[in-house]
Amino acid sequence: MDHKVIEKIASQAASEVATAGGSSGGFLGIGSHTDLSARPKVRVELSGGTASVDLAITVAYPTPIRKVTEQVRQHLIDRVGELTGVEVTRVDITVSAFHREANPGTEALR
């Protein structure tokens, strides 16, 4: 199985955790914004039937980071294994941004 397939599945699995996401929009990183419905960036190294995953996520603010990363890690390991049969042996997570929902009351003050 190609590592690109595992990357797409891992990215989708990470985005299935409600308090985690990625960033969207922009070009070459300029003008992008946090988006909990966007898929995180993922890089996979595949060696036989095992995979190592590196991903960068956006976390909903004020959710505890450790809680979100543990949920993402476990869900990703479970889903990739379930859908592909590949065992994920390592998941390195970088929290690249926080996403705070816009409060309609504060928008009016600006």
Residue 8 lies in a domain: yes
Residue 55 lies in a domain: yes
Full domain range(s) for residue 77: 3-25+32-101
- What is the pairing mode between strands 33-35 and 20-24? antiparallel
Residue 107 lies in a domain: no
Residue 85 lies in a domain: yes
Q: What is the pLDDT of residues 58-83, one digit of tens each?
A: 899 999 999 999 999 999 999 999 99
Residue 108 lies in a domain: no
The domain that holds 50 is classified in CATH as: 3.30.70.1350
pLDDT beneath 50, residues of the chain: 31, 104-110
Domain count, the chain: 1
CB atoms near residue 98 (< 10 Å): 13
